[in-house]
């Protein structure tokens, strides 16, 4: 009996040690305001000791799809993930409905002001440069132009820049951001020139780019946005469609989920809590942010999009997700049309506790 009790106590203590074991995870992404509380340790992932890494999205995509997969949890370009699943059968990481970066894309079209371009329809027949043809941002831009203004990808002469003026921040363009479908008029730009250089030197008429081309930042006198009042245009787009375009999501190693089935929900909750910390900080943003009209912009955003204007989960993002999946297939980038279930599977049920859900 004594021997049995010793064995029983040993088993209980061992089981307790296993249950109390802290899981160490390597997590990568941008340290944007919505995840800052996670990076800084103000919000923890239950039962996890996290080591955070900052990296550009192009490099994160490459690491995930063709690199060493050194991160357990990683931010990933949503469309590159779609292409990896649809075209390559990628199955190593599970996508979670966490969206750290999303951007309205009307602001991302830049034109030469000396080419007679006064509206979207004037882009037909023009020569347009881009770095990363199948990136999430470019896929959204092409889809919006076709849906809202009748400008098809086939209406444009495409030039693929060999350099990206935003590479320092975004990382190098990854494989799944470089897919070009057949049937379009496409050529490569000169060696050594970025999309910004092509626009500044007048080699192209316009640029589609996730970030402002360097020449625009530098104040080139003949470069402007296609939509000068892009805020108003984007607000009208949201009012019409209800879509806030999603750029990035979060993926987790599937072998981890097999060993720790509850981990996905814990990570989702932590990212959601971190976002709520950012929302709380916005209420005092006028004191800490250098933008002079910060309070008014925040108030206008809440009036237009609601107080939780950056939702995670599937329910409030279903239309945006289905729209991007449709764009990917319609633009002949993905070999087959995926569904939301193909991306998120059983993790479609992860939803935030929000007064607006």
pLDDT single digits (tens) 7-65: 333 333 333 334 457 899 999 999 999 999 999 999 999 999 999 999 999 999 999 99
The stretch 74-79 carries a mean pLDDT of 98
Give the C-alpha separation, 334 to 179, whole Å: 9
Q: Token digits for 316?
A: 């409030």
Greatest C-alpha distance within the chain:
93
Q: Closest Cα to residue 246, out of 352, 131, 143?
A: 143
Query: pLDDT confidence of 4, banded at 50, 70, 90?
Result: very low
Q: Residue 223: how many CB atoms within 10 A of its CB?
A: 22
For domain 106-241, the CATH superfamily is Periplasmic binding protein-like II (3.40.190.10)
Looking at residue 164, its pLDDT comes to 86
Looking at the chain, the domain(s) classified CATH 3.40.190.10 span 23-102+246-349, 106-241
Query: pLDDT confidence of 174, banded at 50, 70, 90?
Result: confident
For domain 23-102+246-349, the CATH superfamily is Periplasmic binding protein-like II (3.40.190.10)
Q: Closest Cα to residue 57, out of 36, 78, 39, 37?
A: 78
Looking at residue 1, its pLDDT comes to 45
Please state the separation of Cα 350 from the chain's center in Å: 18
The stretch 119-127 carries a mean pLDDT of 98
Query: pLDDT confidence of 93, banded at 50, 70, 90?
Result: very high
Give the C-alpha separation, 311 to 318, whole Å: 11
Give the C-alpha separation, 125 to 247, whole Å: 28
Looking at residue 286, its pLDDT comes to 85
Looking at residue 20, its pLDDT comes to 55
253-287: pLDDT as tens digits: 999 999 999 999 999 999 999 999 999 999 988 88
Looking at residue 17, its pLDDT comes to 38
Instruction: With residue 129 as reference, give the H or E element that holds it.
Output: strand 127-130
Whole-prediction pTM value? Answer: 0.91
Q: Residue 83: how many CB atoms within 10 A of its CB?
A: 26
Give the C-alpha separation, 346 to 315, whole Å: 14
Give the C-alpha separation, 17 to 264, whole Å: 22
Note whether 107 and 61 are within 8 A (CB): no
């Amino acid at each position: 009996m004594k021997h049995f009790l010793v064995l029983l106590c040993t088993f209980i203590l061992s089981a307790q040690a296993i249950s109390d074991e802290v899981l160490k995870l390597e997590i990568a992404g941008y340290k944007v305001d919505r995840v800052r509380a996670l990076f800084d340790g103000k919000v923890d992932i239950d039962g996890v000791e996290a080591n955070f890494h900052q990296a550009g999205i192009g490099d994160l995509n490459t690491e995930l799809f063709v690199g060493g997969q050194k991160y357990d949890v990683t931010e990933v370009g949503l469309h590159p993930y779609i292409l990896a699943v649809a075209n390559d059968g990628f199955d190593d990481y599970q996508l979670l409905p966490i969206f750290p970066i999303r951007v309205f894309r009307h602001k991302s079209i830049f034109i030469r002001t000396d080419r007679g371009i006064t509206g979207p329809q004037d882009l037909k027949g023009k020569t347009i440069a881009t770095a990363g043809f199948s990136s999430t941002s470019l896929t959204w831009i092409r889809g919006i132009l076709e849906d809202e203004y009748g400008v098809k990808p086939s209406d444009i002469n495409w030039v693929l820049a060999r350099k990206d003026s935003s590479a320092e921040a975004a990382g190098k363009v990854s494989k799944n951001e470089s897919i070009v479908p057949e049937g379009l008029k496409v050529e490569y730009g000169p060696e050594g020139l970025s999309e910004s250089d092509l626009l500044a030197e007048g080699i192209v008429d316009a640029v589609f780019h996730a970030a402002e081309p360097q020449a625009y930042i530098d104040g080139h006198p003949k470069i402007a946005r296609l939509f000068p009042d892009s805020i108003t245009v984007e607000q009208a787009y949201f009012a019409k469609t209800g879509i806030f375009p999603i750029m990035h999501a979060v993926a987790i190693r599937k072998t981890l989920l097999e060993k720790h089935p509850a981990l996905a929900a814990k990570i989702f909750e932590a990212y959601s809590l971190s976002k709520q910390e950012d929302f709380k900080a916005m209420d005092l943003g006028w004191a800490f942010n250098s933008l002079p009209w910060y309070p008014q912009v925040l108030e206008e955003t809440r009036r237009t999009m609601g107080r939780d204007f950056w939702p995670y989960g599937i329910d409030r993002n279903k239309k945006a997700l289905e729209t991007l999946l449709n764009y990917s297939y319609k633009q002949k980038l993905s070999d087959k049309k995926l569904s939301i279930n193909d991306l998120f599977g059983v993790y479609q049920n992860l939803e935030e506790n929000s007064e607006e859900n």
